[in-house]
Structure 1
Amino acid sequence: MRTDRDAGSPDYDRIVEDLTYKYDGVFSKESVAQAVADARAALEPVSKIPTYLPILTARYATQQLTAAAQAEGRITKQVPELLFVCVHNAGRSQIAAALAQHLSGGRVHVRSAGSAPIDEVNATAIAVLKERGIDLSEAYPKPLTNDVVRAADVVITMGCGDACPILPGKRYEDWDVADPAGQPLETVRDIRDDIQGRVTRLLRDLGI
């Protein structure tokens, strides 16, 4: 629901206009405005730097609109959709998503989300991926939504319990992976390597 706060805000009005153009023929301007308002509402409580909030809102609204369009068959999938989910979307799921994107060479589309996302990605997770030439510095935790689950072909959960909805026609896996939160660099390297092995096996199983 749009609020008085949203009205007359140039940054968010521009986001709505840009996304309305991008999704012309797919979603109405009203639906786009709702997606932008929902994205802002989801990210604002955990956003540390208000200046960046419009940029993150635009990215997240785009992801949600694309997921909804894919789930509803309005946009044709070009590659398999993988979704990695953990509690905070700050460590395990971010590492897995980044590795899957990197190792697949773009032959899958990857999303990550958290059942209870926090305000920033684990700094040590960013560091251990940088060692592999993967830049996670602009990643941010994102809330889990039904649309991203509906759009996914494969859903990988890591320590988030029953938070992820179970929908028919999806492939689900639960990976028992250690949480990097509060762990030293060497331990997080081991977690990264564990996740990389699992991602590699998954991609091979998918024929990628």
Structure 2
Amino acid sequence: MTNPLLKRQFEIVREDMHRRYGSLHTAEHIDALVDQTIAERTANAKVETFLPVMVERVVSEKLEEQAAAAGATDPCARQEVLYVCERNAGRSQLASAITSWIVGDRLFVRSVGLNPVGGINPTVLEVLAERGIPTGHLYQKEIVARTVHRSDVVVLMGVDQRPDIPGDRYVEWDIADPEGASIEEVRTIADDVERNVRALLDEMGFDEAQSAESA
């Protein structure tokens, strides 16, 4: 494949398929199906513009059909929530970590920053650790343009203008910025974030969530 943009778009499709169906299929199976579909669709294509969309659609349909045939109780893709704040250093990290802790891999969770600099707020990490919430997987991430993928819900915190991020639904949370806050203040912020997270998860149909206070 000689078109670098098309190659990158296909890699984004591959990443999305792993995110959405990784709990239903092995990584090897998803990779093989993506590779096969790309080869089939590009073999005689005269126009490349819509190839990533076509590959995404075909692979999604096949993975869901195969999961249903194998007896999966919910063969459809996992829902996804994306948390966005200015630096991906505090609020979005709190929301991401708390959400993953509550629902596990039943929901795919991402967080990004418009200008991710300075590292994750150490007080945020300390407060999460106090609650027994894992933080080893957290790192700052910037927005990456995606060709076909849309999050089910995009949550904006402290963002003045809506960024160019594809999503089916956008919500705004009025959460204080933990930057420069004391540990007591960050604990209060974490409580606010958790209340919002639990309300969102309830709207999205998730239940049986554990409580940070009882962990």
- TM-score normalised to structure 1 length: 0.63
Give the whole-Å Cα distance in 1 for the aligned partners of 2:178 and 2:147: 24
1:121-200 to 2 correspondences below 5 Å: 121-147=120-146, 150-165=149-164, 167=166, 170-200=168-198
Deviation at 1:22, TM superposition (A): 7.1
Letter in 2 for 1:183: A
Give the whole-Å Cα distance in 1 for the aligned partners of 2:160 and 2:99: 22
Change (3 A) 1:142 1:198: same
The answer on 1:26 being equivalent to 2:34 is: yes
Give the whole-Å Cα distance in 1 for the aligned partners of 2:176 and 2:35: 40
Deviation at 1:137, TM superposition (A): 3.5
Does the CA-based 8 Å contact 1:115-1:163 persist in structure 2? no
Give the whole-Å Cα distance in 2 for the aligned partners of 1:131 and 1:149: 38
Give the whole-Å Cα distance in 2 for the aligned partners of 1:145 and 1:189: 30
Corresponding position of 2:111: 112
Does the CA-based 8 Å contact 1:126-1:137 persist in structure 2? no
Give the whole-Å Cα distance in 2 for the aligned partners of 1:142 and 1:92: 13
Deviation at 1:148, TM superposition (A): 9.1
Deviation at 1:25, TM superposition (A): 4.2
What secondary structure is seen at the aligned counterpart in 2 of 1:150?
Answer: coil
| Count of residue pairs brought into register by the alignment | 152
Corresponding position of 2:15: none
Deviation at 1:162, TM superposition (A): 1.9
Letter in 2 for 1:26: V
- TM-score normalised to structure 2 length: 0.61
Change (3 A) 1:148 1:92: farther
Does the CA-based 8 Å contact 2:82-2:153 persist in structure 1? yes
Does the CA-based 8 Å contact 1:177-1:195 persist in structure 2? yes
Aligned-residue sequence identity (percent) comes to 38
Letter in 2 for 1:130: A
Corresponding position of 2:81: 82
Does the CA-based 8 Å contact 2:150-2:168 persist in structure 1? no
Letter in 2 for 1:129: L
